[in-house]
Amino acid sequence: MTSPSTDTTSPRTVIQPLWDAPVRLLHALMVLSLAGAWLTAESQGWRAVHISFGLTLAGAMILRLLWGFVGTPPARFASFVRGPAAVAAHLRGLLAGRAGPHAGHNPAGGWAVLALLATGLLAAGSGWLAWQGGEAWEDVHETLANALLLLAGVHVAAVLLMSRLAHDRLVPAMLTGRKAVPAGTPPTRSMHRLLAAALLVATLGFWAWSLGPTAPWHGAAQAQADGDRHHGDRHHDDD
């Protein structure tokens, strides 16, 4: 199989600052909270930690949505959400072996970003409703959480495939902020590191509170276990 000729060493491609610090921090929070929420999903004893991960995922996604309107140019939805014609042209180009580094998300990736954010928010929202006592929401939450895991798996596979096809090191770019882009792309002027640092401090503060004795879900596991003992089967929200 022949590989595409475009690569990051091509004179038409330069490596420069692209993903600002809030984009990268929020992404890291999404990865960690999905992994954490998945690991703690089944056990009653980890309920408070599971809720904390779910709220962290929802918070990161809501902030990413807002940043998509007011953030740096490559972070804005207006710069990467494209119509079906652009997506089709991108996919045709891929099949023809013409894939080069993009100045941000490619047209297919733009829709994957929206799908991940929407599914993540629905999964977290239904989890919240289930915790509030809506037993009917438990199945909805499980289904949406599984859909999110599937989508995240497809997302990672697509990122790795695109990195290969376009000779574009997408994962290091999401970590360092520096990415291969077509020459002439304006570099991201401010990486907003201070804002990301404030977000990180706020996240740590949230976790300190969320795992402490004043959080509403403190002792949720014990209460639920007691409820189960009293009622013989499932927890009711009035006990």
Among 36, 54, 100, 109, binds ligand HEM (CB under 6 A): 109
Residue 152 binding ligand HEM, by CB under 6 A: yes
Residue 113 binding ligand HEM, by CB under 6 A: yes
For residue 110, give Cα distances in angstroms to 40, 62, 167, 178: 30, 17, 19, 19
Applying CB under 6 A, which part among 38-46, 150-158, 221-229, 231-239 lies near ligand HEM? 150-158
Alpha helical stretches, state H, the chain: 21-39, 47-70, 77-80, 84-95, 107-131, 135-165, 170-176, 193-210, 220-231
Least distance CB 134 / ligand HEM (angstroms): 23
Least distance CB 156 / ligand HEM (angstroms): 5
Strands 178-182 and 13-17 turn out to be antiparallel
The 10 Å CB-count burial string (b at 16+, else e) for 41-51 is: beeeebbbbbb
Sign of CA dihedral 201, 203, 205, 207: negative
- Contacts to ligand HEM from residues 67-106, by CB under 6 A: 75, 105
User: Based on CB atoms, which residue is closest to ligand HEM, 174 or 220?
Assistant: 174
Among 31, 63, 115, 121, binds ligand HEM (CB under 6 A): 31
Least distance CB 92 / ligand HEM (angstroms): 19
- Contacts to ligand HEM from residues 43-62, by CB under 6 A: none
Residue 221 binding ligand HEM, by CB under 6 A: no
User: Based on CB atoms, which residue is closest to ligand HEM, 110 or 131?
Assistant: 110
